[in-house]
Chains A and B, each alone.
Chain A
């Protein structure tokens, strides 16, 4: 079976490139900083899975959104757990991505030749924030409604194009049914598709360039090259 796969798919080369590549030999607590990207990826997969499940019982209309969310929490088997995972995963995702971002920044890992990795990373950060913004509205309770009212009003404050941006976000002059379907479409279709695409680019670049060594102090010997 393994031989057959090997001869028909070339998966061995892919497996080697993905999992048997050279990585920095960081030791001690510093090594943990390198898990943050993979941890972000893991939480993204959790969000994707729990999101698919939630979408099976969620109705994105003003008449039913709130009740369908209540239904998930109160009636669906393990609904409270799945919803809780998605809820806390959303917060955790932002935290992890911010930490990952910080590690890359403070280790200077964004520098030449990894600029493209950094840029795809910044886009991923924006997408993650987009998930937070659009997902927050979906329960359609008071908190959700007014947070989005504030968010879209902030957009409306931008000079010249502000009101148009807000109208496109809201799907009309007022928040309502069109806002909910719009946010839903972005949350479950547009953003996941873009994010998956960008994660693929991001990871390709990470593997392509290899991962940066932890920065070393001069007395560690790294500065010797200056001699």
Chain B
């Protein structure tokens, strides 16, 4: 084992093995550290029931539980939204807070419009401003239908102009 040839071979073997071990441990560690870059994001779609349960033309208020996930901790919050189904099966979901200062508005069955109790803002069924202090139409939640389930994303996208 003392001659130079063997010595070189052992050194090389130790070098290669060492590099291999470092590569495996190193890439595992680096992956752990960089995991935020590849984590799949929980987009937050909420299933609020069968899509054909909504009668076309009349907005209804739905209640649901919204889960927000912060790494390992999940917070549950009661939330609501207004859902308007149209004859052609299209569905619009409104943020239940008035765009003026955030009061919960209601659907007035007689006048067929949304009314805010706080400062009398009024909106048409499609969310457009009819009267009052609201700076814009009702804010909407994104929604989609999958297998006849209505899914909504309870974060406001700015109301259409």
A24 at the interface (CB under 8 A from B): no
Asked if B88 lies at the interface with its beta carbon under 8 angstroms from chain A, I say: no
Please provide the 9 A-B residue pairs with the shortest distance between their CB atoms, ordered closest to farther: A176-B70, A177-B71, A178-B71, A167-B36, A177-B70, A172-B36, A171-B36, A168-B36, A177-B73
| Beta-carbon contact of A170 and B36 below 8 Å | yes
Contact residues in A for B73 (Cβ distance below 8 Å): 61-63, 177
* B109 in the interface (beta carbon within 8 A): no
Closest to A164 in B: B37
Query: Which residue of chain A has its CB nearest to the CB of B38?
Result: A167
CA–CA, A177 to B71, complex, Å? Answer: 6
Majority secondary structure of chain B interface residues (helix, strand, loop or mixed): mixed
Best-surrounded residue of B33, B41, B71 (most CB of chain A within 10 A): B71
Query: Which partner residue on chain B sits nearest A179 by CB separation?
Result: B71
**What chain B residues lie within 8 Å of A171 (beta carbons)?**
36, 71
Task: Judge if B39 is at the interface, Cβ distance under 8 Å.
Answer: yes
Instruction: Please tell me if A173 contacts chain B, counting CB pairs below 8 Å.
Output: yes
B34 on the interface (CB 8 Å rule)?
A: yes
* Residues in B neighbouring A61, C-beta threshold 8 A: 73
Binding site for A on B (CB under 8 A): 33-34, 36-37, 39, 41, 70-73
In the complex the two chains form, what is the Cα distance from A167 to B34 in whole Å? Answer: 9
B145 to chain A, nearest CB (A): 27
A168 contacts B34, C-beta separation under 8 Å: yes
Which chain B residues lie closer than 8 Å to A164 at the CB level? 37
Q: Which of A157-173 contact B (CB under 8 A)?
A: 164, 167-168, 170-173
Q: Considering only CB atoms and an 8 Å cut-off, how many residues of chain A contact the other chain? A: 14
CB distance from A158 to the nearest CB of B (A): 15
Kindly report which residue of chain B lies nearest to residue A169, judged by CB atoms: B36
Measured between beta carbons, the chain A residues less than 8 angstroms from B33 are 168
| A residues in contact with B72, CB < 8 Å | 177
The reply to whether A173 and B70 contact each other, CB–CB distance below 8 Å, is: no
CB distance from B11 to the nearest CB of A (A): 27
B37 and A167 form a contact (CB under 8 A): yes
Query: Which residues, 169 to 209 on A, are CB-close (under 8 Å) to B?
Result: 170-174, 176-178
Other than the known A61-B73, A176-B70, A178-B70, what 6 A-B pairs have Cβ atoms closer than 8 Å? Answer: A62-B73, A168-B33, A170-B36, A171-B71, A173-B36, A178-B36
- Chain B residue with the shortest CB-CB distance to A178: B71
Provide the residues of chain B in CB contact with A174, threshold 8 Å.
70
Complex Cα gap A61–B72 (Å):
11
A173 to B69, CA, bound (A): 12
Report A-chain residues with C-beta under 8 Å of the C-beta of B36.
Answer: 167-168, 170-173, 178
Determine the distance from Cα of A174 to Cα of B70 in the docked complex, in whole angstroms: 8
CA A63 – CA B71 in complex, angstroms?
13
Cα A22 to Cα B69 with chains together (Å): 61
In the complex, A168 Cα to B34 Cα: how many Å? 6
Chain A contacts for B37, CB-based, 8 A: 164, 167-168
Which A31-62 residues have C-beta < 8 A from chain B?
Answer: 61-62
Whether B34 lies near A172 (C-beta < 8 A) is no
With a cutoff of 8 Å between Cβ atoms, the chain B residues found around residue A170 in the complex are: 36
10 contacts between A and B (CB under 8 A): A61-B73, A63-B73, A164-B37, A168-B33, A168-B36, A168-B37, A171-B36, A174-B70, A176-B70, A178-B36
B83 to chain A minimum Cβ distance, whole angstroms, is 28
